[in-house]
Amino acid sequence: MARWLLVLLSVLFLLSGSSAHPHTRLATHSRPKLTVRSQTDKASSSPGNTTITDSDPASLVNVFIGTTNGGHVFPGATLPHGMVKVGLDTDSPGNQAGYDANPIFNAIGFSQLHDSGTGGDISLSNFKLWPLPECDSFASCNTSLFFRKTLRKVLPDGSPDDAGSPGYFATNLSTGVQVELTASRRTALHRYTFPPSSREPRIVVDITNDGMNSATEPVVNINTTTGRVTGGARFASSFGPGRYNVYTCVDFKGDGYDFEAPTEYGVWLGNTPVQNSTQVIQLYSGFLSEIGALLTFPPSPNPVHTTILARVGVSFISSDQACANAESEIPNFDFDETVTTARETWNELLSRIQVDTRGVDKEITELFYSSLYRTHISPADYTGENPNWSSTEPYYDSFYCNWDTYRTLYPLMSLHDPEVFARIVRGMINIQQHEGWLPECRGATLQQWIQGGSNGDPILGEFFVKFHEHASALNVSANDLYTALLADAEEQPPNWNLQGRQTTVWKQYNFIPSDVYDSGGTATKQVSRTLEYSFGDFSISQVAKILNNTDDVAKYQARAGNFINVWNEKVTLPGNSSIKGMMQPRFADGQWNYTDPRHCSVNDLLDSTCYLDVTNHDGFYESSPMVYSQYIPQDTAKLILLQGGNESFINRLNLIFDQNYFDVTDEPSQQIPFMYHYANRPGLSTQRSRMIIAESYNTSVSGLPGNDDSGAMASFAVFYLLGMYPLPATRQFLLASPYFPKVTFHNPLFNTTTTIIANNFTGNPQDGIGGTVFVKSVTVDGQSWHSNCYLDWDVFVKGSTVELELTSDINTTCGEGSDALPPSLSTGGYSGTI
């Protein structure tokens, strides 16, 4: 373990079982226990508050946060950004990631691929395995989803008997079988421990039941000599029109004993196993049929129980490649070693951000590391598994969707995981080179629905602004990156519902009019797309600036200002004429249409939703005009002018919270709690952001306010707990105070460690209100810093020490100088080197 690891005292607090500041809101909620077989707590021997250099942050991760009530979090086993995400599938209506922590839902299988936190239909969940401890006979076994389903065991506290930690998952089924799962990048390893009564242990391999039961063209083969099951099928996209192929290769081994071959085998159709059949071709079936293999294994000589290991390789290319992946990644079926490798990989990654937990409630530390963990589930590393073209570049998939993640997930990656960030960017550029445009909501190798603009643009912008000096060392071509951005910005794709922006109209009108019906996409979301295109072009201007392309800087900065074209200064909030000026739909001739500012908020009298519906003519996606009227991260100073100055801007922000226009479940709201910074009232941002955490996040299984959205909500929580909010594709981070007296970030590319120290830290107020949490002054490496409101990227490049002096005075300001407020385009920000 590297020497740079600094103070980590949290483990001690967890062991002592108490904390100096009990935090009732986050106090113990019923949740699955978090034990890991054969894992020891290595840090437990570290004394007092001395430096801990061998910490185990994985032990602070609760993988079950947000696994019921709509969080859709995946709690199963995966490596960071692993392709295989093996987990328990349930028959919950909220089983987008398979699992549901509510034990009323049946277990239906253990499948190999998942996303985490997504909405849409149920993605992936392919190739379920299922243990059958005892059937009367082979032919009488229940193989279909409906007949095989069973409940999990339930613990005395009412939670299911499930356990999990980074790289490991386990459950006990009511049939008496214990199931344990672990993973390498493209291979899952399952361990099935059957009850003593089970003398004919059997395992079902389900080829066709993905999450949407969408398989066509299934193939199943059983090698009767080895028991190897190979197969695959074609499945439907969960958030788009396409279909994808995926293949598997399953091998079995006795745990602690050897067997040559299964004692019985057969292919099954629906609930009917057909013994001695070895290929699905013998059982022709059309769409929606359930098909797989069923194998019976010799029992272990161990009189107590039989344990069978199942190694499941996966490939998007072929079943041969699935076998090769499995053989190379987990050659010896060594379960404990696979778990250990996964945990070490997670620990190396998670320990790059260290927190000092003196005076901090242990629930906060758990929330922090659990959230950090979930920012490394997606996108997934499918390198070598791209079915559409061959390339030596990395290939990442499960961008579900960039619209969700560009705001906070990638800026967090900039702080501690730049090498993986660079690989993701290379993969994105490679996709643009073969498909014409950067990916947006790609899943299962397919293009899926675009939600905003080309939200890959701010991701590439974020990378290049932060790492341009290292781009060639990271094998990112600056030329190719810029070419990819210009393709998004300038070339209209044939299908802009799936591929990118409606650029022809954007360039012609400088906004997206409500009444231009262009071929290749649906005339919806015109106002929110205008705002996203503006920010996309801002991020391109930031790259152009680094490349010294002054013409393009001027061009794209001008386009970044196009948000003004959908600002209707006359529209007011019904019932409150002081809230004046709104983003509104506009026609090509410059006349305005009208969408009630309350539309799509909780105050909408019509209860409308703003989802991807072709009949939506309101102009907005997933958030109200009230929220989108705050969404101009590149030029908040202009927004303040449009809204009548600091005082009325602050009043409007307050109203947004007081009247519940703020929507913590949707990304366009993510920056709003921090926007008081721009009106020189950073204390209000600090308090508001802390209130959001207190109200909407906790460590229970229902601890997320909505879908985690591939880690977008997790990265939002991480930044809030760190006392920062990122401005993607810029060099600035808005600054508040962290929930910890000290935080360190190790950046492995720069080999530097940045430290933020909160002097006068006295703990975190439970409800987020008040406290000694407001930033009074800031020093960087001992020198007074010009702003209390933002940090510059330089701090994280050099590995500076930032010291904050905290106060209980909420009336602190950003400072006196002209550069104390965070930058905005219209006030000269983002010119020069800023």
Q: Which stretch binds ligand NAG (CB under 6 A): 170-178, 454-462, 563-571, 671-679?
A: 170-178
Q: Which is nearer to ligand NAG, 422 or 637 (CB)?
A: 422
Indicate the helix (H) or strand (E) that contains 180.
strand 178-183
Q: Which stretch binds ligand NAG (CB under 6 A): 329-337, 397-405, 803-811, 817-825?
A: 803-811
Q: Which is nearer to ligand NAG, 388 or 609 (CB)?
A: 388
Pick from 13, 244, 716, 739 the residue near ligand NAG by CB under 6 A. Answer: 244
Rounded distance between C-alpha atoms, residue 533 and residue 808, angstroms: 40
Contact letters for ligand NAG, residues 763-802 (x by CB under 6 A): -------------x--------------------------
CA-angle at 122, arms to 448 and 313, nearest 5°: 90
Output 70 or 161, the one with its CB closest to ligand NAG: 161
Longest pairwise C-alpha distance within the chain: 82
Q: Given the complex with ligand NAG, which of 407 and 525 has the nearer CB atom?
A: 525
What tokens does 458 get? 């701010």
Q: How far is the CB of 607 from ligand NAG (least distance, A)?
A: 15
Among 285, 433, 572, 593, binds ligand NAG (CB under 6 A): 593
Nearer to ligand NAG, 440 or 635 (CB): 440
CB 86 within 8 A of CB 188: yes
Stretch that binds ligand NAG, among 85-93, 162-170, 574-582, 687-695 (CB under 6 A): 162-170
Minimum CB separation of residue 664 from ligand NAG in Å reads: 26
Site for ligand NAG (CB under 6 A): which residue of 24, 30, 44, 140?
140
Per-residue x/- marks for ligand NAG, 464-493, CB under 6 A? Answer: ----------xx------------------
d(CA 503, CA 488): 8
Identify any residues that bridge with 311 across adjacent strands, giving them in sequence order: 189, 251
User: Of 65 and 233, which has the nearer Cβ to ligand NAG?
Assistant: 233
Least gap, CB of 245 to ligand NAG (angstroms):
4
Strand partners, 754: 745
Nearer to ligand NAG by Cβ, of 192 and 697: the residue is 192
3-state secondary structure of 107: strand
Residue number, 359 or 644, with CB nearest to ligand NAG: 359
Contact between 170 and ligand NAG per CB under 6 A: yes
Q: CB atoms < 10 A from the CB of 784, how many?
A: 9
Buried b or exposed e, range 320-358, using 16+ CB within 10 angstroms: ebbbbbbeebbeebebeebbbbbbebbbebbbbbbbbbb
Q: Rule CB under 6 A: say whether 135 interacts with ligand NAG.
A: yes
Classify 712 as helix, strand or coil.
helix
Among 69, 510, 696, 807, binds ligand NAG (CB under 6 A): 807
Looking at 45-53, 377-385, 449-457, 734-742, which segment touches ligand NAG (CB under 6 A)? Answer: 45-53
Give the side-chain half-sphere CA count within 13 A for 373: 33
Told to check if 646 binds ligand NAG by CB under 6 A, we report no
In whole angstroms, the minimum distance from the beta carbon of 264 to ligand NAG comes to 7
Q: Would you state the torsion angle of the CA atoms of residues 648, 654, 656, 658, taken in this order, to the nearest 10 degrees?
A: -140
Shortest distance (Å) from residue 138 CB to ligand NAG: 7
Q: Interface with ligand NAG includes 660 (CB under 6 A)?
A: no
131 DSSP β-pair partners: 203
Interacting residues with ligand NAG between 285 and 304 (CB under 6 A): none
Q: Is 237 in the site for ligand NAG (CB under 6 A)?
A: no
In whole angstroms, give the CA distance from residue 352 to residue 751. Answer: 11
Site for ligand NAG in 352-391 (CB under 6 A): 387-388
In the complex, what is the shortest distance from the CB of residue 427 to ligand NAG, in angstroms, rounded to a whole number?
12
* CA–CA gap between residue 675 and residue 94 (Å, rounded): 33
Give the residue nearest to ligand NAG (CB). Answer: 617
Counting contacts by CB under 6 A, is residue 172 touching ligand NAG?
Answer: yes
Decide if residue 272 touches ligand NAG (CB under 6 A).
Answer: no
- Based on CB atoms, which residue is closest to ligand NAG, 718 or 806? 806
Counting contacts by CB under 6 A, is residue 162 touching ligand NAG? Answer: yes
Instruction: Assess 163 for contact with ligand NAG (CB under 6 A).
Output: yes
- Of 174 and 223, the one with the shorter C-beta distance to ligand NAG is 223
Near ligand NAG by CB under 6 A, which window of 159-167, 202-210, 455-463, 781-789?
Answer: 159-167
Using rule CB under 6 A, residue 601 touches ligand NAG: no
Nearest to 187 by CA among 261, 280, 71, 78: 78
Strand partners for 154? 160
Long-range pairs of 382-387 with CB within 8 A, sequence gap ≥ 24 = 382/83, 382/316, 382/445, 383/423, 383/427, 384/186, 384/317, 384/321, 385/83, 385/186, 385/315, 385/316, 385/317, 385/321, 385/445, 386/316, 386/445, 387/244, 387/245, 387/316, 387/317, 387/445
CB of 95 to ligand NAG, least distance (A): 19
The DSSP secondary-structure symbol of 151 reads: P
If one asks whether residue 178 binds ligand NAG (CB under 6 A), the answer comes out as yes
Residue 257: count other Cβ atoms within 10 Å of its Cβ.
Answer: 14
Beta-strand (E) ranges in 378-466? 380-381, 396-397
User: Is residue 515 at the binding interface for ligand NAG, with CB under 6 A as the rule?
Assistant: yes
Strands (E), 297-408: 307-315, 353-356, 380-381, 396-397
Between CA 490 and CA 503 the distance in angstroms is 6
Give the integer Cα–Cα distance in Å for 399 and 452. Answer: 14
Pick between residue 461 and residue 711 the one whose CB is nearest to ligand NAG.
461
Stretch that binds ligand NAG, among 23-31, 43-51, 574-582, 634-642 (CB under 6 A): 43-51
- Contact assessment for residue 170 and residue 183, using Cβ atoms and an 8 Å cutoff: no
Quote the tokens at residue 800: 């500076």
Our measurement of the distance from residue 356's CA atom to the centroid of its chain's CA atoms, rounded to an integer in Å, reads 25
Q: How far is the CB of 470 from ligand NAG (least distance, A)?
A: 9
Q: Compute the least distance from the CB of residue 407 to ligand NAG, in Å.
A: 26
Task: Work out which of 300, 514, 669, 670 binds ligand NAG, going by CB under 6 A.
Answer: 514
Q: Which amino acid is at 251?
A: D
- CA 355 – CA 365 distance, rounded (Å): 8
Out of 275, 285, 340, 648, point to the residue binding ligand NAG (CB under 6 A): 275
Residue among 30 and 49 whose Cβ is closer to ligand NAG: 49
Contact pattern from residue 72 through residue 111 relative to ligand NAG, giving x for each residue in contact according to CB under 6 A and a dash for the rest: ----------------------------------------
The Cα–Cα gap between 747 and 793 comes to 12
- For 723-762, the DSSP string reads TEEE-TTSSEEEE---SSSEEEEEETTTTEEEEEEEET--
CA distance 25 to 15: 21
Residue (of 75, 86, 100, 295) closest to 166 by Cα position:
75
Restricting to residues 414-453, which ones interact with ligand NAG according to CB under 6 A?
435, 445
Number of residues that bind ligand NAG (CB under 6 A): 48
Q: Which is nearer to ligand NAG, 495 or 510 (CB)?
A: 495
- Interacting span for ligand NAG (CB under 6 A) from 46-54, 95-103, 501-509, 528-536: 46-54
**List of residues contacting ligand NAG (CB under 6 A):** 49-51, 135-136, 140-142, 147, 161-163, 170-172, 178, 223, 225-226, 242-245, 275-276, 387-388, 435, 445, 474-475, 514-515, 547-548, 593, 595, 617-618, 751, 759-760, 776, 805, 807, 809-811
